[in-house]
Amino acid sequence: MKNKFYKSALAIGIAALLSTNLSAQTSNFEDITLQGANDFKIPSNGNFDSKFSSGSCDFKNNYDISYGGFWTSGWAYSKTNDTITGDYSNLYASYANKGVGNSNNYAVSQNETFIHLKQNSIQGLYISNTTYAALSMKKGDAFAKKFGGNSGNDSDWFKITINAYQNGNMKTEKVDFYLADFRFSNNAQDYIIKDWTYVNLQSLGSLDSLKFTLSSSDTSQFGMNTPAFFCIDHIITNADTATFENLTLPYGQTYWNRGSKVFTEEYKSGQAFFPSSYSVSPSYNYWNKGFAISNSNDSTTQGFTNLYSSANGRGYNKSTNYAVSNGNNTLITAQGKGIADAGIIAKGIWINNAAYPYFSMLNGDGFAKKFGGKSGDEADYFRVIIRGYLRNIKTSDSVIFYLADYRNADNSKDYILKDWTYADLSKFSYVDSISFKLESTDVGQFGMNTPAFFCIDNFEYDVKTSINEVANQNIFSIYPNPSSSTINIDYNEHFSTIRIIDIQGKVVLQSKQKTIDINSLENGIYVIQIETENGVVNSKFVKQ
C-alpha cells in the first residue's frame, strides 16, 4: 500500500511514580565475569562493544579503532542536519533533517540491528531514511542504481523487516516497512520516504527485543547495493518514549558513534553502575578515568605497569573481584538514572589503596615523593572526598576518607592504607549518585603527584524501588494538567522542597509553595519532585 502518514498523541499519566519499598543491595563485583587470574575490564582498545539508552530501550554499538577508526555495526545517535550530501561521508543525517517534531536528536542504524526493551510491549516508532540512502536511491551512485532506472519503470524497493524476539527466540509476528517503493503501475505513486513516518508495532505482542533487517531490490554478488542505513525516533512503549533527547553529544560533534576520541562504558554490579572511559588517539590509547573491574592479585610490582591491583592483592574479605578507580571525580550512579526513577539510601563502602599509589607513597618514585620525607616528619596525606548527589544537585554532606595520613605528631601512628577499610556513608540519606575526589599534599605545577588511583568493594545500600505510572495509587495530584501558566500541587503531607525537572534531568524551577508559576517553562513534559522526610515522590505534568 502507498506510503501513509500517521499522527500519534502520547497520553501523559498523572499517576504516582514512586513506592517506598526498600531492599538491601550490595555491589560486590562478583556478578561481573573476568576471564582468569590477574584479569581486568576497561573499555576495549580494539573492536568496542557498548550501548546507549533512551527511555526504556537499549541500543548496542560497535566501533573499531583500527585504520583510523570506524563504526562497524549497531546504532549511533545524531543531530546532524544535512539533506544535501549524498555519499558515505554523510552517514549520520536524517533525510527528514531533524528528529520527530523538530526535536534535536534521533538514532541512526546499520543493517541487522537490535533494540532491547526493558518493558515487554511496544506501541510504535517513527522511521525515516538517511540522507545517504535516500539520495543514493534518488540519483544513483558509484555502487547503487537510481531507483526506477532511467525509464522510471523499474520495480525497485528498499524495505525494513522488524522481527519480535522473546527470551532470545524470534516470534512469528513481524512488520514490513518500505523506505522506498517503485513497484506501482502508476509511476506517480512511487516514493522514497523523506518525512518521519509512524509504524504501528502493537501487532508484535509481548516481546523483549526488536530486530531490524534491511533488504533491497538492488543487489549484486556482494549483497545489497543500496546503503544499509536508516533512522528512528520516538519509540513509544507502555512505560515511556525513547526520544534520544536525554543523550549528550560530545562538544563540537553532531553525531556520536562511540569512537572519535573517548570510549565510555559502564559496569553494573547489584543495582549500581560504575562508568569508565578510554581515550583513543592515533599514537597512544589509554584508560583515562572511571572504574576498571579487576581480580588482579599482584601486590608486589611497583610502578604504573601495575594499575589494576589492590594494595593487598585481593578484594574485601578475600573476595576475587573489586573495582579500581582512576582519576578525580569518578562517579557511581545508582538505580535512579532516569528522572522518573528511584535512587538509593547509601550505607557504606569498603576502600583500599591501589598497589601503584601505595608503593609510590611508601618509597617515592620519579614523579611523586616518599610520604613523610626523608625525616619522616613531613605532614603528608592522601585522601578521597565522597559526596552524594540527588538529581545532579550536591547534598550538603560529605565523607572524608584517608588513604594515607602522616599528620600525626607521633610518627608511629602514620600510615598508608593496605587493608580494606569501611567508610560509613549513612549520612547521605537519599541519593542517586556518589562522587569520589582525590586530594594529596604532594602536588606540582601539573596537579597532584600521587598516582590518582584507589580501590573499592562491597558498596552497600538500600534500593528505593520505582513503579512507573501505577493507576489508582496517586501519591499527589497536579492540576490543571496540562497547563500553560500555573499548576497547583495537591499534597497534604509535610515536605521541604518542590522541584520541577525537565526531560534531561535538569532542575528548572524550585519552590516551597504548592502553587507554582510555570510561564517561564518551554512547552513539554516535566516531572514534579517533592522532597519529603522519607525520600522523594514524583509525578508528570505537561506544559502547553
Is-contact 537 476, C-beta < 8 A? yes
Is-contact 133 179, C-beta < 8 A? yes
Mean pLDDT of 88-92: 89
When pLDDT is cut at 50, 70 and 90, the band that residue 16 belongs to is very low
What integer pLDDT is reported at residue 116 of this predicted model?
93
Beta strands in 30-149 (DSSP E): 40-41, 47-54, 57-64, 70-78, 106-109, 113-117, 122-129
Whole-number percent of the chain with pLDDT over 90: 44
What integer pLDDT is reported at residue 183 of this predicted model?
96
Residue whose C-alpha is closest to residue 279's, from 292, 290, 288, 267: 288
Cα separation values, 248 from 188, 456, 510, 533, Å: 41, 28, 24, 33
What integer pLDDT is reported at residue 432 of this predicted model?
78
Q: What is the mean pLDDT of the chain?
A: 82
What integer pLDDT is reported at residue 227 of this predicted model?
96
**DSSP 8-state assignment for residue 92:** T
Q: Give the three cell numbers for residue 251.
A: 562538544
What integer pLDDT is reported at residue 280 of this predicted model?
65
What integer pLDDT is reported at residue 50 of this predicted model?
72
Mean pLDDT of 150-179: 95
Is-contact 490 478, C-beta < 8 A? yes
- pLDDT (tens digit per residue) in 500-544: 887 656 788 988 888 999 999 888 878 888 877 666 677 778 888
Mean pLDDT of 69-76: 82
- pLDDT (tens digit per residue) in 434-446: 899 999 999 998 8
User: Is a pLDDT exceeding 60 seen at residue 466?
Assistant: no
- Those residues whose C-beta lies under 8 Å from the C-beta of residue 409, and which sit 6 or more positions away, are none
When pLDDT is cut at 50, 70 and 90, the band that residue 10 belongs to is very low
CA distance linking residue 223 with residue 238, whole number of Å: 37
What integer pLDDT is reported at residue 283 of this predicted model?
57
Residue whose C-alpha is closest to residue 541's, from 530, 532, 528, 529: 528
- Those residues whose C-beta lies under 8 Å from the C-beta of residue 185, and which sit 6 or more positions away, are none
Cα separation values, 453 from 29, 316, 320, 379, 518, Å: 18, 17, 19, 21, 45
- Type of residue found at 315: G
- Type of residue found at 203: S
- pLDDT (tens digit per residue) in 222-277: 899 999 999 999 999 887 887 778 777 655 666 656 544 566 677 788 778 888 87
Q: Which residue has the cell 538505580?
A: 335
User: Is a pLDDT exceeding 90 seen at residue 174?
Assistant: yes
Beta strands in 430-523 (DSSP E): 430-431, 433-440, 443-444, 447-448, 453-466, 477-479, 486-490, 497-501, 507-511, 515-517
- Type of residue found at 177: F
User: Is a pLDDT exceeding 70 seen at residue 46?
Assistant: no
When pLDDT is cut at 50, 70 and 90, the band that residue 47 belongs to is low
What integer pLDDT is reported at residue 365 of this predicted model?
94
User: Is a pLDDT exceeding 90 seen at residue 173?
Assistant: yes
What integer pLDDT is reported at residue 195 of this predicted model?
94
Q: Give the three cell numbers for residue 29.
A: 563485583
Q: Give the three cell numbers for residue 431.
A: 541519593
CA distance linking residue 52 with residue 243, whole number of Å: 12
- pLDDT (tens digit per residue) in 309-349: 999 999 999 898 999 999 876 777 765 443 334 567 788 89
Domains located in the chain, CATH noted: 70-256 (2.60.120.1350), 262-466 (2.60.120.1350), 477-543 (2.60.40.1930)
What integer pLDDT is reported at residue 25 of this predicted model?
64
What integer pLDDT is reported at residue 506 of this predicted model?
74
